Amino acid sequence: MRQSGIRGIAAVMAASVTAGCTGAPGNLEAEIRAAIAENRDLENACDFSRADDFYTTSSTVYLPNYIEPAPLYGANAEGREKELCDAGGRVELDTTVQGVDMLNDGAGIAYGIGSFAEIEADGERSLEGEFSFVYVYVRDGNRWKMQHSHIAQIVPYYPTTPPRTESQPTGANE
């Protein structure tokens, strides 16, 4: 089941962005960071039992267009990874939150980078890559839930065009 591209990264990340918060106002940035870490750990353990707690009812998840041309909505974003885990595979997800900007006591934006891999039941790494993310969180009762997720694949820089020489006309390598 080898796949090309980074299909599934956004789904995993979207499923991994929310968790319980203390309910009492405190360090809201720390609560959002804790939500990301808790759900990353649940994702790595193939625990999808709290999927409905991860999203608001109107949440959207955006992947790069070549992976998924339309947004995914709510808990449906995690389907690929749940299927993988149900078949005996697993995911390896790591996230680094580079910052959290609070908009107010009930909303914040988290952003950062991460890496992702899908490992099939036979141990084959069928998908892996790095990504950047931006998540919008809102407080829903005593929980932080993802309202919006935008995932972008980090593409390594590989120069494809050698430096021009004076003897090459403009556009010769393009």
Question: Residue 143 is part of a domain; what is its CATH number?
Answer: 3.10.450.50
- Higher confidence at residue 12 or residue 145? 145
Whether 158 is covered by a domain: the verdict is: no
Q: What is the pLDDT of residues 103-144, one digit of tens each?
A: 999 999 999 999 988 899 999 998 888 899 999 999 988 889
Whether 15 is covered by a domain: the verdict is: yes
pLDDT above 80 (res 36): yes
Whether 3 is covered by a domain: the verdict is: no
pLDDT above 80 (res 33): yes
- Higher confidence at residue 46 or residue 172? 46
Q: In this predicted structure, what is the pLDDT of residue 58?
A: 80
Distance of alpha carbon 56 from alpha carbon 52, whole angstroms:
8
Q: Fill in the amino acid letter for 156.
A: P
Contact 150, 62 (CB under 8 A): yes
User: How many domains, the chain?
Assistant: 1
pLDDT above 90 (res 166): no
- Higher confidence at residue 3 or residue 33? 33
Q: What is the pLDDT of residues 46-103, one digit of tens each?
A: 998 887 777 777 877 776 655 666 677 665 666 778 888 999 999 999 999 999 999 9
> What pTM was computed for the model?
0.70
pLDDT band, very low/low/confident/very high, at 35 (cuts 50, 70, 90): confident
The token pair at 52 is 């409905």
pLDDT above 70 (res 19): no
Whether 4 is covered by a domain: the verdict is: no
Where would I find the beta strands (DSSP E) of the chain? Answer: 19-20, 55-62, 72-73, 90-104, 107-119, 125-140, 143-153
- Higher confidence at residue 166 or residue 150? 150
Whether 160 is covered by a domain: the verdict is: no
Angle at 114 between CA 112 and CA 115, to 5 degrees: 170
Whether 104 is covered by a domain: the verdict is: yes
Which residue range is the domain that position 127 belongs to?
Answer: 9-153
Whether 165 is covered by a domain: the verdict is: no
**DSSP 8-state secondary structure symbol assigned to residue 69:** S
Whether 65 is covered by a domain: the verdict is: yes
Beta carbons within 10 angstroms of residue 48's beta carbon? 18
